[in-house]
Amino acid sequence: GPGTGKTTTLVETVTHRIEQRGLHPDQVLLLTFSRKAALELKDRVTARLGRTSGAPLAFTFHSFCYALLRQYQAPDLYTHPIRLLIGPEQDVVVSEMLRYSGDLGAVDWPEHLRACLGMRGFAEEVRAVIARTRELGLDPEDLERFAKRAGRQDWAAVARFLDDYLDVLDARGVIDYTELVHRAVLLVERDEVREELRDRFRAVFVDEYQDTDPAQVRLLRALAGDGRDLIVVGDPDQSIYAFRGADVSGILDFRTQFPKADGSPADVV
């Protein structure tokens, strides 16, 4: 539960890796969910080490993914640095596109949904479906196949809408937070990028692991799977962000999702 010393344990484990196992601080990657928490982690580790130079890199998941895109994305994909859409901006884009999709017939929405296209609540639901789709690593084509198998016209319509939505974001040189992580995962899953990052970061630490979503778990598997040095702390009873995609199964299934090098389940303390 809260106040039980999980973050302190993380700080001490980072310190041990550096002082006792000989890792250089910049070979250690710390990931968490807010800028404040990332800065606090870095400051606490630096203070614990008692050094004036050299500190582990601490990021939020989103800032780390943004750095990956800036470093590894094809330079001709964006003519200018990509800009992140904040939530209200994304709401506006989705709402505008929904209205136009109905007026122009760009998406064949089921009859019972057409009256909803101008409603804010419907736009929020569509945005949530888009986010969950990308968190699961699915493309519009994947969603459309699921829709056909399930006989869901509404899913098929959202799949076509998602395809248009991604085109619009690319044309504007912007990206939403879910798409940011999705594209970072695709980059890290490339052999040459994965090997470069694994060589750079010999140990990866994650605080508040119960708040990860499936895309973030995929990112970690690419970065530190196959029995590499990955240490996470979290509490499934503190998972409160399911509404924004956090999936408590990430921490519940950690032992099998991140087995040791010999294939046995990961240790849990």
- The string of pLDDT tens digits covering residues 50-83 is 865 578 999 999 999 999 999 998 776 666 778 9
What is the rounded CA–CA span in Å between residue 95 and residue 119?
8
pLDDT at 36 over 90: yes
Summarize pLDDT for 86-144 with one digit per residue, the tens: 989 999 999 999 998 877 767 999 999 999 999 999 999 999 999 999 999 999 999 99
**pLDDT value for 195:** 97
Share in percent of the chain as helix, strand, coil (round to 5): 60, 5, 30
Pairing of strands 230-232, 83-84: unpaired
Mean pLDDT of 198-208: 96
Torsion angle of C-alpha atoms 36, 41, 46, 47, degrees rounded to 10: 90
